[in-house]
Amino acid sequence: MTTVHEPAVTTTAAPDLSVWPASTAEPRPGDLAVGGVALSELADRFGTPVYVLDEAEVRGRCRTYRQVFPDAEVLYAAKAFLCRAMVHWMDEEGLGLDVCSAGELELAVTTGFPPERIVLHGNAKSPHDLECALRLGVGRIVIDSPSEIARLAAAVGPGGHQKVMVRVVPGIHAGGHQKIRTGTEDQKFGLSVSDGYAQHAIARILDQPQLELTGLHCHLGSQITSVKPYLGAVRRLVGLMARLHRQHGLVLPELDLGGGHGIAYRPGEQALDLTTLARKVRAELTEACASAGLPVPRLIIEPGRAVAGPAGVALYRVLAVKRTGGRTFVAVDGGMSDNPRPALYGVRYAPRLVGRDSGAPLLPATVVGRHCEAGDVLAAGVPLPEDVRPGDLLAVPVAGAYQLSMASGYNLVGRPPVAAVRDGHARLLVRRESLDDIRSRDVGL
């Protein structure tokens, strides 16, 4: 058997902070601070693993969206990460919410978020999801399958009223991985334009007087870094709007292009240029509507990752260092139970040592989790000091989206807490899941 050795990295370098929150600084050699608070201090105070959210970064990204899309409705995609503080920040920054379950909806509304600024979608909404949406007065419900139409109309009742949209599949390939591409015909979301299912569903909705169709919805996928797919979606959706106008005299006031805006997880990676996206989508929409003889609908977008992702940092303690088979494995006290994305999508991160200054040469290491799976790998080929040892602190940037929100109870280790930092202060947002929490759910003895 041939042993594969990772190439050596023999030089140290100043930290590249391009994918870290804008507030990140190096108050002393070997340590980093975010929001004016040293990461080593946060690890000591809250324990590890811990997720840290830079509140100013979250708010700043919300304001960027409001600035580059001044005429659009911006909805934060709650599935990226949601807690009561996040709901509060979105409300104060003037964003709406895009939710996909009764749980996300209830958390938002009980925190005080206006339900009329919430959109509910999902490919398989449960009766409880729909009941909750109607009871709380959600702004719009996105219909994803024909069977939802009759169910929703019956739940609304003959004297009721509910605004709806229809999620259509424009047949566009986009997204960073096959598992997160949702604009094509071969996946579970939406209604196809090419086979007529979308048009048939729209005709059925128009026969339900208690349902008000306000627009079309699409979502092409996630981690998209090119503007081109969005322009293609605009053309195809406006084409469908033109056909609906000819057939039914229908003029739809809204067009939802979803989200999926790509971000950089490691230095040098490409991110979607929001200014270019906004300018080109606006021009494409105006031109397409003019050609079709339609008024320009209000644009809706649904960023999630691009708001929360770059604002988060995950902190782990090193538990073990193992050198075997020509490789160095650095095992930490978290892993796939708090971040399943590497196992699901093969994503790559850029962890770094914080909390102490090491003058040792950098060597490639594989950062692995503590769980009983060979695929529990957080990052491979990471340059870490040769003297990395148990007790060291590793920080992983761009950790604010689709990590803790997808956390599991694997090996019953408990989900990590979330802390927010801002202006030199830190506070706990979500406490650590304890063994008592886990035991309290187990009622079968």
Return the active site residues. Answer: 372
Nearest to 119 by CA among 295, 309, 259, 231: 259
Q: Rounded to whole angstroms, how far apart are CA atoms 229 and 241?
A: 18
Nearest to 244 by CA among 208, 200, 189, 300: 200
H or E element, residue 152: helix 147-156
H or E element, residue 65: helix 55-68
DSSP string, 236-260: HHHHHHHHHHHHH-----EEE----
Give, as one character, the DSSP assignment of residue 314.
E
Phi, psi of 403 (to 5 degrees): -120, -75
Q: Rounded to whole angstroms, how far apart are CA atoms 145 and 132?
A: 19
Phi, psi of 50 (to 5 degrees): -145, 145
H or E element, residue 229: helix 228-248
- How many other β-carbons are positioned within 10 Å of the β-carbon of residue 360? 12
Q: Rounded to whole angstroms, how far apart are CA atoms 444 and 438?
A: 13
Q: Rounded to whole angstroms, how far apart are CA atoms 388 and 271?
A: 31
DSSP string, 335-386: -TTT--HHHHH------EEESS---SPEEEEEEE-SSS-TT-EEEEEEEEET
C-alpha R_g of the chain:
23
